[in-house]
Amino acid sequence: MTFSAPAKLNLALDVLSPRPDGYHELLTVMQTADLCDIVTVLPSRDGEPRAVSNRPELPADGSNLALAAALLFRENTGFPAYMPSVLLRKHIPAGAGLGGGSADAAAVLRGLRRESGADISDKLLLSWAAELGSDVPFCLFGGTQLAGGRGELLTPLPPLPDCFIVICCPGIAVRTGAAFARLDNTERRRKPDISGLCEALRKGDLALAARYMCNVFDDCPGAAQSHAKTAKSRLARGGALGASMSGSGSAVFGVFADCRAACAACAALRREYAQTYLCRPVPARRPESRG
């Protein structure tokens, strides 16, 4: 059973108050982009669940989110009947704020529901997704959505108008928990206007939406931020309508209306940052709930 797992971007991200459970309240507009991992769920050879991938640094045990998703689905439904392992062909850079692990886990939940034919409501699947991680619920159906709470309270938004997205990763892995802790001790200089972005999306105005792209993590001191500053100004000089960091970093993305400008900016940035990709937005998947 092989499933595709597209990356997520935060078009805008504001972090509000810390919560007693160790998380932070946030308000963010999330978007899927067609930079995809490929996830296969298959029977374990020796009855031990395992995650195998082209990135040896990723965990092979149940702390791997894709494997955790397969085990959670099996525990709740009895499907698949065999003990699952997962094979991950990773293309989404890790520790980049692109939700790679979350995308993989969501693809497993979505794919196993389809393959099993089980009558599992979207609401139930979303609750399993939230158990796995804050970004997994968004990644289940993707598209363009407003997320609140710790990321699991979702409201669909009108799609980002058709465009080209250049994603640039400086190859620095950021640990999300540590980045949130650093943010708590950082004086904020920017306040993302999330409702302005939602309004621009409602108008279907790409240029206006791009002007609202903003991420509070851009204010944190760190190596990822200094690369982000350089990459953002190069994207802007290359004709991006807007550019921002995704998640807690380290990836930066720029949004272009013009295909040629996007291709040229991608090629130029790739000379310095090998992990630079030309992508397109992915529309929301239709919920498949029969429940």
Q: What does the per-residue mask of binding to ligand C5P show for 82-101, with x meaning CB under 6 A?
A: --------------------
CA distance 125 to 128: 5
- At residue 12, φ and ψ (nearest 5 deg) are -145, 145
CA distance 176 to 159: 27
Q: Write the DSSP string, 166-182.
A: EEEE-S-PPPHHHHHHH
Strand-pair category, 84-89 with 51-53: parallel
Q: Is 110 near ligand C5P (CB under 6 A)? A: no
| Part of the chain binding ligand C5P (CB under 6 A), chosen from 83-91, 176-184, 262-270, 282-290 | 176-184
Task: State the minimum distance, in angstroms, from the CB of residue 51 to ligand C5P.
Answer: 16
Q: What does the per-residue mask of binding to ligand C5P show for 180-219, with x meaning CB under 6 A?
A: x---------------------------------------
Mapping DSSP to helix (H, G, I), strand (E, B) and coil, where does residue 189 land? coil
Total residues binding ligand C5P (CB under 6 A)? 12
The residue from 8, 14, 104, 218 that is catalytic is: 8
Residues 115-154 that bind ligand C5P (CB under 6 A): 133-135, 150-151
22's tokens? 């160790």
Q: Is 61 known to be catalytic? A: no
Indicate the residue among 22 and 283 with the shorter CB distance to ligand C5P.
Answer: 22
Q: Is 135 known to be catalytic? A: yes
The residue from 14, 37, 104, 135 that is catalytic is: 135
Neighbours of 29 (CB within 10 A): 26
In 3-state terms the chain splits into helix, strand, coil percentages (rounded to 5) of 35, 25, 35
Over the range 203-235, which residues count as b (16 or more CB within 10 Å of their CB) and which as e? Answer: eeebebbbebbbbbbbebebebbebbeebbebb
| Part of the chain binding ligand C5P (CB under 6 A), chosen from 71-79, 172-180, 187-195, 213-221 | 172-180
Task: State the minimum distance, in angstroms, from the CB of residue 26 to ligand C5P.
Answer: 5
Q: Which of 24, 90, 110, 227 lies at the binding interface for ligand C5P (CB under 6 A)?
A: 24
Query: Rule CB under 6 A: which residues touch ligand C5P?
Result: 22-24, 26, 133-135, 150-151, 176-177, 180
Catalytic residues: 8, 135
